[in-house]
Structure formats: structure tokens, C-alpha cells
Amino acid sequence: MKCSKCGFENKDEAKFCTKCGNPFNEQNSGDSAKSDNSKYIIIALVIVILLLVGTIGYFMLNSNSSEPVQSSDNSHNSIDSDSVQSNAQEAESSDDSDSQKTTTAVSSSKSASKEWVSIGSYSGSGSGSQSIRVPEGTIKVELSAYPIKNYATNHLYVSGSNDVSGGVDWGSKSDVETRYDSFTYTSSSEEVFTIDYYETVSWNVEFYRYQ
């Protein structure tokens, strides 16, 4: 027994401190009261916990037993039926969409397959002329030439039997440089074009058909 007044260690059965004479009755009764209070608190907590566990278990058992089995099955059947119908409608909509996409893709592919295809390439130098036959269709002509000197008469002209023509030339004060020109037309029959060139270092004429 430790004296609360002087701190001297005494025997457990001592009623008074052998050093200072302090009585131990009040200290023992206080410790005993504290110990009893702790026991009561623990017991009360255990009882409360048991009551809570029992209440929760009771409500859980009642809620599980109160669910009607027949109603649950019907509900699932109803949901499954609605789900199947909805999935079928989505599948039909998806098929229609895929069909439309396929049709669009095919038509786009057909239109995208057309392009300008070269059907004739002609080139030369110096002065002269030549005639060529061009098939029917939508035709594009691209031409270019570079003059020997600036004589004010240097030129490259391309003219067709359908009165469609194009070309390049240089004036007396023009720069001596390569010049370009192009034109397009559509014809349902074959056309004859004349390429006329004068005082050129080089010239080039390309015919394309849109197909």
C-alpha cells in the first residue's frame, strides 16, 4: 500500500502509514468506489450492445420473410420481357442504321472513285503545230511553255474544233519565263485540237479526262 500523502510503501493490510501516520481507510474506499463504478459502466455497455444486435437481427429477419416470392418472380419476368423487347428494337434500329451506312459508303465509294486520268501528254520545242484527237467526256487541258527570247511573238496555243481554246504568249516587255494555262470542257463527241507553238525552248500539253 502506497501512502497518498508521503509516498511511503506500506504493507497491503496496513491501516496507517508507518512513516507519517496517514490513515488508509479513505484511500481504500475511494479506489473501491472507482473500481465498482468501472464495473457498472462496462456491464451497461455490454447490455446496450446486446440490445442493438438483437434489434437489428429482428428487423432483418422480418424484412426477409415479408418479401413475397411470387411477386418477385413476376417482377423478374416482366423486366426480362421488357428487356428482350427493348433489345430487339435496338437491334432492328442498329440494322437499319448499318444498312444506311453501307448504302452511303457504297455511293460515296462510287463517287470518290472518279478522278482526273491522263489521256495524252505532248511536248516539244522550237516552232510548229500538230493536231490530236481527244475523246468525248469531261476534259481538262493543262499547258506550259518557255520562250527562246522575248520577240513579242513567242507563244503556245491549244484550240479545239468546239471553239474551246487556251494558251500563253509574251509581249515585247514581258519577262522571259515559263507561263502556264489550263481550261476544261465537256463534250459528247470526239474533238480535234491543234497545238500551235512558236520560238519556244520547251512546251508541254497534258489532256485529262474525269472518269
Torsion of CA 160, 164, 168, 170, to 10 degrees: 100
pLDDT exceeds 90 at position 26: no
Choice among 96-100, 119-123, 136-140, 177-181 with the minimum mean pLDDT: 96-100
Question: Which of the two residues, 138 and 73, has the higher pLDDT score?
Answer: 138
Mean pLDDT of the chain: 81
What percentage of residues in the chain have a pLDDT greater than 70?
71
Across 29-38, average pLDDT: 60
Least confident of 18-27, 84-93, 101-110, 189-198: 101-110
Q: What is the pLDDT of residue 75?
A: 41
Query: Does residue 88 surpass a pLDDT of 60?
Result: no
State the SS3 of the chain: CECCCCCCECCCCCCECCCCCCECHHHHHHHHHHHHHHHHHHHHHHHHHHHHHHHHHHHHHHHHHCCCHHHHHHHHHHHHHHHHHHHHHHHHHHHHHHHHHHHHHHHHHHHHCCCEEEEEEEEEEEEEEEEEEECCEEEEEEEEEEECCCCCCCEEEEEECCCCEEEEECCCCCCCCCEEEEEEEEECCCEEEEEEEEEEEEEEEEEEEEC
- Per-residue model confidence as pLDDT tens digits over 188-204: 999 999 999 999 999 99
How far apart, in whole angstroms, are the C-alpha atoms of residue 145 and residue 156? Answer: 7
Strand pairing class (116-134; 137-147) = unpaired
| pLDDT of 74 above 50 | no
Distance CA 72, CA 78 (A): 10
Does residue 76 carry a pLDDT above 50?
A: no
Q: How confident is the model at residue 73 (pLDDT cuts 50, 70, 90)?
A: very low
Q: Are 131 and 193 in contact (CB under 8 A)?
A: yes
Query: pLDDT, tens digit, for every residue of 99-134?
Result: 565 555 545 555 569 999 999 999 999 999 999 999
Local confidence band at 78 (pLDDT 50, 70, 90 cut-offs): very low
Long-range contacts, 152-158 (Cβ 8 Å, 24+): 153/198, 153/199, 154/198, 154/199, 154/200, 155/196, 155/197, 155/198, 156/195, 156/196, 156/197, 156/198, 156/200, 156/203, 156/205, 157/194, 157/195, 157/196, 157/197, 158/193, 158/194, 158/195, 158/196, 158/205
State the pLDDT at residue 1.
73
When pLDDT is averaged across residues 49-54 and rounded to a whole number, the result is 89
**What is the mean pLDDT of the segment spanning 92-99?**
58
